[in-house]
C-alpha cells in the first residue's frame, strides 16, 4: 500500500529553468489535484545540474485520501493533450528564512502542529517499519520538504479536508485518534503560509516524533508476541489487475503452545498493491463442530486504517490448532513488470491480564449481500440491521464499501423507543478505510437494534471520476468494480454468555435497497 515518494525540495538559491514536465497520475488530494514532476535546470551553478522536483499541480485544496491507483479520479483528463511551455521560475535566495516577530515560524510553531496532526501519514517509511494503511504522497518532516507545499497545506486545513476525518460533529470526542485540528492550530498554519512561510530558528524545533518503539521490529503496536505469515509466497502475476484469494495458516503447537488472549492485531502487507487484507480465525474442529458460526473475524487493513490496542479488559481468544485465514485483495495496473511476490503477515499482541479479568471480543459485520444498484442511479440506499439480545459493549465501528459508496451511518434503536446516531459519515471515501474506535466502549441495552445504512452513486459523473461503468447493475462482489455493504462492529457481551447461543440469538435484517 505504498505510494511513490515525492521529492519536494523546491526552495533554491538559484533561478530555475523548467525544461520538461511529466505529470504523475497518482492522486495526492482533492478533486482535481496532481503532483507534477518537473525537470529543472539550475541556472548560475558551475555544473548547470538538473534534477527532478515535485510541485503541486492544479491544487484546489480538497482532499479525498491517499491514492495509489492510476486509473481513478480525473482519469479522462489524463489523456488530454497538454501544451508544455518553457517557464522560468525564479527562486529568491534565502526565501522563507526570515520572519517578523508576529509571523509564526516553521520550527517554533508549525512543526509541532505537523507532528501532532500530519506526520503519522506524511513521513518516509523507515527501513523495516510497518506503516499499514497510513500513507501519503509526500513527507512533511523537514522545512525543505514542507515549504513548497505551504499554500496547499493552508488551503487544505482551512477547508478542513486535512487532516482527513469523516465523522460528523455528532460524535466528536468519542473516538480515539480523531484527526481534527483545533482552530488555533489552523490559524497558526494559515498565518505562517500568508506570512511567507519562514523557517525560523532550528533550535526551536521539537524533538523528532517517534512512530515506533525501539526494539519493536518496526511494528506500530510494539513487538508482537506472535507473528503469523501466509503459508507461502504468492506471485501476483503481470496480467492480474484485480483478484481476491484466500490462504490458510494453521497455528501449530510449536507456534502457539497454549490458548492465549489477544489485545491487539496488526497487519503487515507484503506488497505495494494490496488493496486490503482481512483475516479470520477458525478454532480447532470449528468447521465441523460449529459449522457456519465457526469463523471469527479478527479485523482488516486498508488505506487510511491504523492498528489499535483494545481497551484493557477486552481481548480475543486464540487457541492452538486454529486456522488463520488471510483474505487478500490485490488491485493494480496489469502489465509487464507489474507482478510482485506477497507474503503478508499478522502480528498478535497478547493481553497481560488473566482470563478471569477479560471479556471476549467479536469482530463481525452488519452487512447486506443481496442488494442490486441500478444503472445510472445517483443515490441508492442499502441497509442492514442486527438486534443484540444481551447487554453489549461496542468497541469500534468500521464501514467498508467500494467505489460507488458516498455515505454511511450507524443508528441505534433502543428498546425504550429512543434512537442515537452512533456514526455518521456523510462523505464516505473508499480510499480512507477509517476505524472508529471508542475511547470508552459504548454500552447498549439488551434488545437494541443497530442499523447500518449506506448510500451509493452509480452515476455517469462518478463513473468517469472513479473508473467504473455506470451502466452496470451492481451487486455484491469482491472486485473493486463490484460493491460491498459491510458495517463491521467490534463488540463484547457485558456478561458471559454461551457464544453459539449468543450468535443464534442475534437477529439480522437486510433491506433490498431503494432510491432517494
The rounded distance, in Å, linking the Cα atoms of 310 and 132 is: 17
* CA-wise closest residue to 94 among 204, 197, 6: 197
The rounded distance, in Å, linking the Cα atoms of 362 and 491 is: 5
pTM for the model stands at 0.74
CB 78 within 8 A of CB 22: no
Rounded to 5 degrees, φ, ψ at 149 are: -100, 10
Burial class of residue 232, CB neighbours in 10 A (0-12, 13-18, 19+): exposed
Burial class of residue 228, CB neighbours in 10 A (0-12, 13-18, 19+): buried
Please tell us whether the domain made up of 212-360 is placed in CATH 3.40.50.1820.
Answer: no
DSSP collapsed to 3 states, 47-88: CCCEEEEEEEECCCCCCCCCCCCCCCCCCHHHHCCCCCCCEE
Do domains 212-360 and 364-516 share one topology? The answer is yes
Cell numbers for 327: 483474505
> In a 3-state reduction of DSSP, which class is residue 442?
strand
- Rg (alpha carbons) of the chain, rounded to whole number: 24
Cell numbers for 174: 468519542
* pLDDT in the model for residue 191: 96
For residue 166, pLDDT over 70 is answered with: yes
Strands of the sheet with 314-318, listed across from one edge: 226-229, 345-350, 260-268, 314-318, 359-360
Per-residue confidence band for 304, with pLDDT thresholds at 50, 70 and 90: low
For residue 437, pLDDT over 90 is answered with: yes
Domain 364-516, CATH class in plain words: mainly beta
Maximum Cα interatomic distance, the chain, rounded to a whole number of Å? 80
Question: Using one digit for the tens of pLDDT, what is the confidence trace for 70-84?
Answer: 322 222 233 233 223
Cβ neighbours for 498, distance < 8 A, ≥ 6 positions apart: none
Residue ranges covered by each domain of the chain: 16-204, 212-360, 364-516
Can you state the angle between helices 183-194 and 150-158, rounded to 10 degrees? 150
Question: Using one digit for the tens of pLDDT, what is the confidence trace for 351-402?
Answer: 999 999 999 998 888 999 999 999 999 999 999 999 999 999 999 999 999 9
Other CB atoms within 10 Å distance of the CB of residue 207 = 6
CB 238 within 8 A of CB 330: no
**Which residues lie across from 50 on neighbouring strands?**
41
**Which tops the pLDDT comparison, 95 or 159?**
159
For residue 39, pLDDT over 60 is answered with: no
Question: Using one digit for the tens of pLDDT, what is the confidence trace for 492-512?
Answer: 999 987 766 666 556 667 665
209-225 as b/e: b if 16+ CB within 10 A: eebbeeebebbbbbebe
Amino acid at each position: 500500500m505504498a505510494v511513490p515518494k515525492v521529492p519536494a525540495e523546491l526552495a533554491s538559491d538559484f533561478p530555475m529553468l523548467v525544461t520538461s514536465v511529466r505529470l504523475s497520475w497518482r492522486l495526492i488530494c482533492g478533486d482535481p489535484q496532481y503532483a507534477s514532476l518537473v525537470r529543472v535546470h539550475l541556472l548560475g551553478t558551475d555544473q548547470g545540474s538538473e534534477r527532478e522536483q515535485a510541485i503541486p499541480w492544479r491544487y484546489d485544496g480538497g482532499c479525498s485520501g491517499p491514492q495509489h491507483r492510476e486509473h481513478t479520479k480525473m482519469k479522462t483528463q489524463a489523456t488530454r493533450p497538454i501544451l508544455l511551455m518553457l517557464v522560468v521560475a525564479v527562486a529568491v535566495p534565502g526565501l522563507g528564512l526570515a520572519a517578523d516577530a508576529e509571523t509564526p515560524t516553521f520550527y517554533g510553531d508549525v512543526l509541532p502542529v505537523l507532528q501532532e496532526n500530519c506526520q503519522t501519514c506524511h513521513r518516509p517509511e523507515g527501513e523495516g517499519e510497518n506503516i499499514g494503511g497510513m500513507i501519503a504522497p509526500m513527507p512533511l518532516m523537514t522545512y525543505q520538504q514542507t515549504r513548497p507545499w505551504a499554500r496547499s497545506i493552508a488551503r487544505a486545513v482551512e477547508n478542513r479536508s486535512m487532516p482527513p476525518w469523516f465523522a460528523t460533529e455528532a460524535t466528536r470526542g468519542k473516538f480515539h485518534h480523531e484527526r481534527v485540528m483545533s482552530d488555533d492550530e489552523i490559524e497558526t498554519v494559515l498565518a505562517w503560509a500568508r506570512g511567507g512561510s519562514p523557517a525560523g530558528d532550528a533550535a526551536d524545533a521539537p524533538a523528532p516524533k517517534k512512530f515506533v518503539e525501539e526494539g519493536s521490529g518496526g511494528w506500530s503496536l510494539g513487538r508482537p508476541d506472535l507473528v503469523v505469515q501466509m503459508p507461502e509466497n504468492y506471485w501476483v502475476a503481470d496480467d492480474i489487475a484485480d483478484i481476491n484469494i484466500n490462504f490458510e495458516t494453521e497455528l501449530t503447537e510449536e507456534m502457539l503452545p497454549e490458548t492465549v488472549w489477544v489485545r491487539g492485531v496488526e497487519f503487515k502487507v507484503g506488497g505495494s498493491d494490496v488493496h486490503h487484507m482481512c483475516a479470520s480465525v477458525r478454532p480447532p474442529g470449528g468447521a465441523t463442530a460449529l459449522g457456519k458460526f465457526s469463523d471469527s473475524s479478527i479485523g482488516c487493513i486498508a488505506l487510511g486504517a491504523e492498528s489499535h490496542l483494545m481497551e484493557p479488559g477486552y481481548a480475543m481468544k486464540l487457541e492452538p490448532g486454529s486456522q488463520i485465514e488471510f483474505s487478500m485483495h490485490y488491485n493494480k495496473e496489469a502489465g509487464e513488470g507489474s507482478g510482485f511476490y506477497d507474503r503478508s503477515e499478522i502480528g498478535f499482541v497478547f493481553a497481560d491480564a488473566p482470563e478471569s479479568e477479560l471479556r471476549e471480543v467479536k469482530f463481525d459485520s452488519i452487512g447486506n449481500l443481496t442488494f442490486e444498484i441500478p444503472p445510472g442511479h445517483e443515490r441508492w440506499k442499502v441497509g442492514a440491521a442486527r438486534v443484540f439480545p444481551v447487554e453489549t459493549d461496542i468497541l469500534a465501528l468500521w464501514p467498508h464499501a467500494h467505489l460507488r459508496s458516498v455515505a454511511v451511518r450507524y443508528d441505534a434503536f433502543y428498546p425504550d423507543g429512543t434512537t442515537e446516531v452512533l456514526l455518521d459519515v456523510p462523505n464516505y471515501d473508499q480510499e480512507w478505510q477509517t476505524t472508529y474506535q471508542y475511547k470508552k466502549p459504548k454500552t447498549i441495552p439488551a434488545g437494541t437494534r443497530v442499523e447500518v445504512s449506506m448510500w451509493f452513486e452509480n452515476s455517469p459523473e462518478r463513473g468517469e471520476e472513479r473508473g467504473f461503468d455506470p451502466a452496470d447493475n451492481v451487486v455484491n462482489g469482491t472486485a473493486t468494480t463490484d460493491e460491498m455493504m459491510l458495517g463491521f462492529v467490534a463488540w463484547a457481551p457485558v456478561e458471559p454468555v454461551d457464544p453459539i447461543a449468543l450468535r443464534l440469538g442475534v437477529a439480522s435484517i437486510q433491506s433490498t435497497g431503494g432510491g432517494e
